[in-house]
Amino acid sequence: MTVPWSRRVVWTVRTLAVVSLLSVATTVWLGLWVTPPDKVQRNLVRLVYVHPPIAWVALYLAFGIAAVSSLLWLWSRTRSVFWDRLAAASMEVGTVFTALTLVTGAIWGRPTWGVWWAWDARLTSTALLLVLQLGYLALRRIPGDPEARARRCAIGALIAAVDVPIVHFSVNWWRTLHQGATVLNANLSPTIHGIMAWTLLLGFVSFTLAFAWMLTVRYRIQVLSDRLDGVDLDIALRERWSEGDE
Amino acid sequence: MSYIDAGYGIALAVLSGYAVQLWWRRRRLEQLAARADIADLAEIAEVADVADVAGLPDVEVSR
């Protein structure tokens, strides 16, 4: 039987949706109309309020949750279907954010570098991450025993997670077109200040909230999918049997 | 259209589209699960009726 969401959970999820929607809207308003243009990048700097927050969700949050959940599933003491479902949900939502990271990065790169794409260390390692995420999603679709699927997906997620530090440190390890970190740099001293820094911070918070809502709903979808797994087959078999009886 | 409009437009359109798709998927699956639950209950009731008629003792059905 399916356990429905309690009223409290429904209320929390709805509140999360409204708060994330309002905070994303505020980020867009501040980013497009309130913050000043940059001395070097002029108006193009406005893309800083969406591109890094989306990348933060894709790389660190979504992948971090998927990797930790996979690890906890693999560890026999903490093994639970919850971790497998959470990893699956986080990886799917993260894939959307990684694709957006590449698209918004290309849109920013065209006027800044003169090209949509370059085989640069940061860009290439991020593209590889997207391929690995798509591979993980393909692994999940292979039919078979749920436990075997959970095991191969958990191992796949941990192998893919090796690419995350490579993406992060790529701007330090190699000479790249991509600029260094603005906030999480080696000195931990942000190179952005005032309202621009606050808007960027709000961008990080609002996209994190949007991710939290998507993750919650996607997790629920995973629970319902597991519940309904094989139900279609049951119905088809019952219909066949009833046809046979006639 | 400027690069800034394109960046914001694509990011917001994709995220909104994905959010709506998630909402629809969850709604559809909730309805399907509710239907499957009703079918299961009907099956359990049918089994219980047959057991009553046959004079079998009550059994706990769990899923």
- Please provide the DSSP assignment of A46-112 as one string: GGGGTHHHHHHIIIIIIHHHHHHHHHHHHSTTT--HHHHHHHHHHHHHHHHHHHHHHHHHHHHHHHH
Range of the domain at A195: 15-239
Do residues A14 and B49 make contact, with C-beta atoms less than 8 angstroms apart?
no
B46 residue type, one letter: E
Q: Within a domain: residue A8?
A: no
- Give the separation between CA A239 and CA B39, rounded to whole angstroms: 14
> Does A244 map to a domain?
no
pLDDT tier, B61 (very low <50, low <70, confident <90, very high otherwise): low
- Candidates B4, B19, B33; nearest CB to A46: B4
Q: Is the dihedral of CA A121, A126, A129, A134 positive or negative?
A: negative
Residue A184 has a pLDDT of 61
Distance of alpha carbon A137 from alpha carbon A54, whole angstroms? 20
Express each pLDDT in A195-243 by its tens digit: 888 999 999 999 999 999 999 999 999 999 988 876 666 666 666 777 7
Q: Which residues of A touch B26 (CB under 8 A)?
A: 217, 220-221, 224
The CA angle A95-A100-A113, to the nearest 5 degrees, is: 135
Higher pLDDT, A167 or A185: A167
Res. A174: pLDDT tops 60: yes
**Burial category of A176 from C-beta neighbours within 10 Å (exposed 0-12, middle 13-18, buried 19 and up):** middle
A142-160 average pLDDT score: 92
CB of B28 less than 8 A from some CB of A: no
- A55 domain-assigned: yes
**pLDDT value at A153 more than 70:** yes
Q: What is the pLDDT of residues A55-102, one digit of tens each?
A: 999 999 999 999 999 999 999 899 999 999 999 999 999 999 999 999
Q: Looking at the domain assignment, is residue A110 inside a domain?
A: yes
Q: How confident is the model at residue A113 (pLDDT cuts 50, 70, 90)?
A: confident
Number of structural domains (chain A) is 1
- Which residue has better confidence, B13 or A167? B13
Residue A9 lies in a domain: no
Q: A-side interface with B, Cβ within 8 Å?
A: 1-2, 4, 24, 28, 31-32, 43-44, 46-47, 50-51, 54, 93, 96, 99-100, 103-104, 107-108, 110-111, 210, 213-214, 217-218, 220-221, 224-225, 227-228, 231
Closest approach of chain B CAs to the CA of A224, in angstroms?
Answer: 6
- A133 with A160: CB under 8 angstroms? yes
Q: Does residue A211 lie in a domain region?
A: yes
Average pLDDT over residues B44-63: 65
Residue B62 has pLDDT above 60, yes or no: no
Domain assignment of residue A184, yes or no? yes
Give me the mean pLDDT over the A126-132 stretch. Answer: 95
Q: What is the pLDDT of residue B46?
A: 72
- A83 in any annotated domain: yes
What's the average model confidence in pLDDT over B18-26? 96
**pTM for the full model?**
0.85
A42: phi then psi, degrees, rounded to nearest 5? 55, -135
Q: Are B20 and A117 in contact (CB under 8 A)?
A: no
> Residue A233 has what pLDDT?
60
Which residue type is seen at A147?
E
Indicate the pLDDT class of residue B1, thresholds 50, 70 and 90. low
* pLDDT greater than 80 at residue A246: no
